Structure 1
Amino acid sequence: MPLRAFLFILILVTGIESLAKPCEVPAVVIDSISLTGNESTRSQVMLRELTFAPGDSIPAEALEPLLQENQKRLLNLRLFHFVNYTYTCAKGQVRVQFAVQERYYLYPIPIFDFADRNFNAWLEKKDWSRIDYGLNLIRRNFRGRNEEVRVRVQRGFNKRLELGYRIPYVWRKYNLGADFLVADYRSRTISYTNVNNRQRFYEQEEGMPIKRTSVAAALVHRQDVQRQAGLRLSFHDEDISDSVTLLNPEYYQRALQERQYMRLELYKAINRRNNFAYPTAGSYLEAGVAQTFFLHRSGSPFTTLRAKYVKYVPLSQKYTYMAGGEGQLRLAGKYAFADNIALGYRSLVRGYELYVVGGQHYALFKQGLTRQLLDIKSIKLKFIDNPKFNSIPLSLYLNGFTDAGYVADHAFEKGNPLTNRLLLGSGLGLHAVTFYDIVLRLEYTLNREGDRGLYFSARFPF
């Protein structure tokens, strides 16, 4: 067995992160950086993420923290199961080696999902016809360059076709990448209004009451894996049936059945979390501004400003405190019901999963205390030979939380008592983090209205 391969296997099996000969000089110089285990990933993709390079001079006491930081940067590319490092120091010259185990990059993910906003909203109806099925095919690390190809073919209650392509670098000199998306959506039902903060649906026996088609292209400035900004331009064409306009003439304003619009969006994200899947330290900042222009006088133009900031504070080895806020301002002369989206979809106050709180502006605050209950680095599946699949990590966390939110609505607030009112929710949850960054949450909540419930979700809460 070659020496490099033996060393790589030894590191992965033992889990040793650093095998080093101590540096006995005040400052060292990086002599070389070598990579092993990256059979598909191009070395340049990994080297671009590092904050040091051969020839750099570093204080000896700062070497270990520097290598640990860069180990996390490579891991947060989400291309590898493990990232470990070794180094040797001789006469002030340091040779660094990173060893990785690559993930499997082709994800044929079957779609079997509920057509409603979340599992509990579907469970309230228990309608097995409201099921979506199909295939979501994702090819990550395409060509070994951290590119991504996405194809989604969805049938069932909601029909969806999507094709996406992300390129981290199209102009390496300026760290510019690109993202493209084409999507078509059609559904057998449409939520045409809200009453008592519950969606009212219209289902058409023949044909589709709503159709949406969009094309988007973004230019992304990717400074590194933690910091990026982008400029996105998208075109949207949307149609609803005449029955919907009769039920709600303000769905697209002025009883229109079709509208077309362009949206220009500028955004920035700074992700300093220690782990992108389930962070326990660091911070996350995201901000954006978008302008929507309607074509053929099919709507009133509006401006949307949004921001989000979250801080994760490790209190000890097992305890983490999280606090963060999110908000949106939507400015327009006149609003359409279709654009009156605030809390109840991707963003919500926990405990209000069964409600939709529409509005133009909203603010959301979340905080929580998390305790790690279990941290298994690897559960070996002996009946599977492929190392990309036979090792499953599992972490369990106990999370106590409180959420608060407020939605301002001056267009469609009538008959919706949760609008223009402080929303409060709290509870206790069990979170599991496992294979390929999957996060599963089971939470028992109590809200200000006195509702209690057990809710399930499959993504990180904030």
Structure 2
Amino acid sequence: MLAVFISLFSFLSLQEAPTPASSVEAADTVWKSNVQRRLTDSTGHFLKVNRIVLVGNAITRDRILLRELSLKSGDVVYSNDLKDILDLDKKKLINTRLFNTVEIKSLPFSKEEVDLVVSVNERWYTFPSPIFELADRNFNEWWENYEHDFRRVNYGLRLYQFNMRGRNETLRLVAQLGFYRKFEINYKIPYFDKKQKQGLIFDFEYSETKNAPVLTDEHKLDFLEDDHVIRVHRGGSVAYTYRNSFYDHHVLKAEFRSNSIADTVTEVNPNYFGEGERLQRYTVLSYQFTSDHRDYFGYPLNGYYFNTIVSKSGIFRRDDLDKFEITASYAKFFNLGKNYYLSNNIIGFWSTPDRQPYNAFGAMGYRKQFIRGYEVYVVEGPTYFLNKTTFKKRIFSKTYDWKSIAIRQFRHIPLSIYIKMYGDFGYVQNYPIYEETNKNTLLSNRFLTGAGVGLDVVGSYDAVIRFEYSFNVMGVGGFFIHLKREF
């Protein structure tokens, strides 16, 4: 079965992204470029957009909705293209994550003119979210590697204020205590210009901990615990964003980071900052490009997604870290019909030089970048690649409209359930320091595979719970729980 998966996914990965059935997705104003071709098509006729009426946006400014619409008042569109255009615009509005539901209707105004009515149901935008979560990378790492110790828990409060001022701005405040103390302020302004293409993101963070991973032993993190703070991080960044089309985003970010550790850390691992250093300060300049053509951000079933990040740590001579890295990922989602779906994700990472302090090691095993079946392991290296594929079937889907709920933003409750099977494979090149000391060599420099079956539960407000049973190339299997989508 795994061989079939690998053969199929390698074939799919090499194929070019298919051209959409309708040409309207190619660019923001593509319908205008098709006028000449339509002159020879007698099956439809041209329509002029008379008015665009917005309904239900009590908080969201009109211009935020209008930014996502391909058509503007006064535009001319071919009648046969109208439905495809409106379907795509509906998906774009849903993916702003501002609305529970979106409906776009065309109403004839005259024989040659049409009105568009955009009706939205706004989400709840203020979320004071209590923090009570594991400090480890995932549930299984906490359960198996650290004996489900409840001292390894973070608690506190996150405050999310989405759609501030009705302009899709986001404020995030974090006050976290417990195993890992963190305080953070993040403010995102998606647009500050009249054309709504340029934005800014500000971020400031302070964190400290009495427990920190200071070594990796047999691909598992080894923590040092003390009565006093052993690691402190301070950082700030400003990012400039540019959205030149509906689907493409550019981010240019400048950061400053300051890290300090206690002498107990250097005693255990002199290479934590390198050469026994206890202070590390450096600047980072990075560029990120994203092209997002997924049908639904929360749980995509169709479309594709591409993302790449180029980052340079150590811009100035006085910086204490020198590292250049590139990460690229491509995900493709196929709707096979009859509630069957296939998805494939490819991730590649490369960095140089390959001799780095321990805290700057690249690793497969964090966030969504891991092979299923290896959740309890961290595989470090300057270069790695990963391929993840899932075949699934939707077995239940229903939307509940509970009018008895007092807050209208929570009355719309979608629920879907998928059963699935999956196969992952990857490779990590080991760091020279591990090769020279014969440490952490079991899973590096070799082809790794994992496979399994599972159940996904998808709810409202992008909530996803994944129940998976996976086994790896070593023949070890286990049950895993994840609270985010696969990729």
Which residue number in structure 2 is paired with residue 415 of structure 1? 439
SS in 1 for 2:265: helix
1:77-132 residue CA offsets vs partner (Å, 9 max, x unmatched): 11001101222122120001010010110011111000111111111221111110
| 8 Å CA contact 2:469, 2:478 repeated in 1 | yes
Contact 1:25/1:92, CA 8 A, preserved across alignment: no
Shift of 1:171: 2.5
What is the aligned counterpart of 1:182 among 201, 204, 210? 204
5 Å-filtered alignment, 1:48-447, equals 48-89=67-108, 90-124=110-144, 125-173=147-195, 175-205=197-227, 207-224=228-245, 226-293=247-314, 297=318, 299-332=320-353, 334-346=355-367, 347-380=369-402, 382=404, 384-413=405-434, 414-416=438-440, 417-447=442-472
1:299 CA drift (Å): 3.4
| Structure 2 SS opposite 1:435 | coil
Deviations 1:167-219 (A, max 9, x none): 011233471100011011111211111111111111012x1111111101100
The letter of the residue matching 2:117 is Q
Paired with 1:62 and 1:424, the residues of 2 have a C-alpha distance of: 45
Indicate the residue corresponding to 1:456 in structure 2.
Answer: 481
Q: 1:260–1:294: 8 Å Cα contact kept in structure 2?
A: no
Q: Tell me the amino acid that sits aligned with residue 171 of structure 1.
A: D
User: Does the Cα contact within 8 Å between 2:348 and 2:386 map onto a contact in 1?
Assistant: yes
- Is this contact kept in 1: 2:154–2:179, CA < 8 A? yes
Q: Which structure has greater strand proportion? A: 1
After superposition, the C-alpha distances for 1:427-446 in whole angstroms (9 at most, x for unaligned) are 11111111211111110001
Determine helix, strand or coil for the equivalent of 1:348: coil
Q: 1:420 to 1:44 in 2, by over 3 A?
A: same
Which residue in the other structure is 2:63 paired with?
44
The answer to whether the 8 A contact 1:280-1:312 is kept is: yes
How many Å separate the matches in 2 of 1:77 and 1:264?
27
Q: Which whole-Å CA distance do the structure 1 matches of 2:324 and 2:289 have between them?
A: 17
Task: Give the Cα–Cα distance (whole angstroms) in 1 for the partners of residues 215 and 287 of structure 2.
Answer: 30
Q: Does the 8 A contact of 1:107 with 1:139 survive in 2?
A: yes
Normalising by the residue count of structure 1, what TM-score does the alignment of the two structures yield?
0.92
Change (3 A) 1:32 1:298: closer
RMSD: 1.5
Output the CA distance in 1 between the equivalents of 2:206 and 2:399.
Answer: 40
Cα deviations by residue, 1:37-70 (Å, 9 ceiling, x for unpaired): 0000000110011111111111111111111111
Conservation of the 8 A alpha-carbon contact between 2:420 and 2:453: yes
State the number of aligned residues: 437
Change (3 A) 1:298 1:248: farther
| Bigger Cα displacement from structure 2, 243-252 vs 412-421 | 412-421
Structure 1 portions without partners, runs of 5+: 1-23
How far is the alpha carbon of 1:320 from its aligned partner? 1.0
TM-score, normalization by structure 2: 0.87
Give the secondary structure class of the aligned counterpart of 1:77. coil
Contact 2:380 2:431 in 1 (8 A): no
Partner residue of 1:14?
A: none
Distance in structure 1 (CA, Å) of the matches to 2:239 and 2:183: 19
**For residue 5 of structure 2, what is the aligned residue in structure 1?**
none
CA distance in 1, matches of 2:182, 2:246: 30
CA distance in 2, matches of 1:138, 1:155: 18
Contact 1:300 1:333 in 2 (8 A): no
Segments of 5+ residues of structure 2 without an aligned counterpart are 1-42
Change (3 A) 1:250 1:403: same
Distance in 1 (CA, whole Å) between partners of 2:397 and 2:225 is 46
Paired with 1:179 and 1:424, the residues of 2 have a C-alpha distance of 38
**Shift of the alpha carbon at 1:300?**
4.3
Letter matched to residue 325 of structure 1: I
* Secondary structure of the structure 2 residue equivalent to 1:172: coil
Structure 2 counterpart SS, 1:45: helix
